[in-house]
Amino acid sequence: MQTKLSVYVRLGAMMFLQYAIWGAWTPVMWSYVKGLGFSDYQAGLVFSALWLACILAPFTGGQVADRWMPSQWFLALVHAAGAIVLYVMAGAQDFTPFIVLMGVYALLYAPTLAVTNAVAFEHIEDREKEFGVIRVLGTLGWIVAGLMLTGMRSMTLTVEGRGDLLVLSAALSVLMAIVCLTLPHTPPKREADNPFAFVEAFKLLKDPHFLLFIIIAFIVTTELQFYYLPTSEYLEKQILIPQEQVPAVMAIAQACELIGMAILLPILLPRIGIRWALAIGVLAWPLRYIVFAFGTPDIKWAVLASLGLHGIGYTFFFVVSFIYVDKVAPPNIRASAQALVTLATLGVGNFLGTFFTSWVMDFFRGPEGDVAWKWVFVVPCILTVACAIAYLALFRDPRAAPDAKLPESAPAG
């Protein structure tokens, strides 16, 4: 007999591992593939594979879990397959096999982001109160994965000829597959929502404030790639952080994200409103970019402290964005509106942002491989400041649509 506690523990373990897998490779992948000799453009392609897969996910793996296979079996299957792909990819040295394997892995992993949320929603009693507690374990998993990779590098625990970040992700994927087999049974609905249902939400674009919100959300997401892609290389080469310490150092961002979600946002949002919360979220990133632009080993403390601004910015922008959409969308298209925002940010925004970031990196990289970091980070600084000014000047706090409720989920940080 399954108790409520046992179900919630398994759901928490699922969410922890789901994001630990992602957090093991994402923060340091850029410096890893650059070490393999990939160009900035090729490195950008590696990152863009997951974002392209996120655009395709509702029409691929998401449909399998919705219509034909119990969700826990689907998750176990794709994570087991993903572990194999990750392990093989860890030994790939050339770009062509690496990007092919990355594309395959992205198609396997991307649908699991939505399916894990769906499994959690299916088996918790109070979504508004309890989902956040389970979801925040994903952020904790991301942090722990970074600490684990740092520990592996400090103790020189490596598999000869294979990238440690991908080997760790593969091991976590195996563990995730096992955990998924213990999850509560979640049968397919077979009458799943139309995967094109987000098209209905386009009617919200007739509202100039919502249109402004979508445009700025898209731009901000493209500039966010200036954190995800070059930060590991920047910390190693410009700030002189030892390579083995970089994963743990970058976990500062997720630690501050935990603080932002648990403490700051609940206190401030009711007092300052959505407009100011979005502006604060956007402004946190250019503040970090300014510190990065002028960062040197002599002010290492300032650079490390500025990493926390990523977590604060993520909380105040993305979490508040989903609250805003849920507040203004009529109940009959609320899910479609959330899907539209996810498509514009997690999908298209991230996908195009990787190419823009890699192009800027390549433009400011010298013939000897040295990077003019100051100018690399000035570019997103200018664009994100402009977005924050636009929010404050043109955006207005919304009135709630009938029967509006708090959102059920937000994307990963």
Superfamily for 1-191? MFS general substrate transporter like domains (1.20.1250.20)
Q: State the 10-residue block means of pLDDT for the chain, 413 residues long.
A: 78 93 92 92 91 77 64 91 96 96 93 80 68 79 92 80 92 96 80 55 85 91 90 94 90 88 84 89 93 95 94 86 80 69 84 92 88 94 91 78 44 51
Residue 3 CA neighbour count, 13 Å, CB half:
3
pLDDT of amino acid 408:
42
Q: Residue 20 corresponds to which tokens in the numbers above?
A: 């630990």
pLDDT of amino acid 404:
43
HEC profile of 229-289: CCHHHHHHHCCCCCHHHHHHHHHHHHHHHHHHHHHHHHHHHHHHHHHHHHHHHHHHHHHHH
In total, the chain counts a number of residues equal to 413
pLDDT of amino acid 205:
87
* Residue-wise DSSP of 79-148: HHHHHHHHHHHHT--SHHHHHHHHHHHHHHHHHHHHHHHHHHHHH-S-HHHHHHHHHHHHHHHHHHHHHH
Report yes or no: 344 and 214 within 8 Å, Cβ to Cβ.
Answer: yes
pLDDT of amino acid 60:
63
Gap between the Cα atoms of 307 and 312, Å rounded: 9
Q: What is the CATH number of domain 196-413?
A: 1.20.1250.20
pLDDT of amino acid 411:
47
The structure's pTM equals 0.77
pLDDT of amino acid 258:
84
Q: Where in the chain is the domain with CATH 1.20.1250.20?
A: 1-191, 196-413
R_g of the chain computed on alpha carbons:
21
Gap between the Cα atoms of 92 and 163, Å rounded: 9
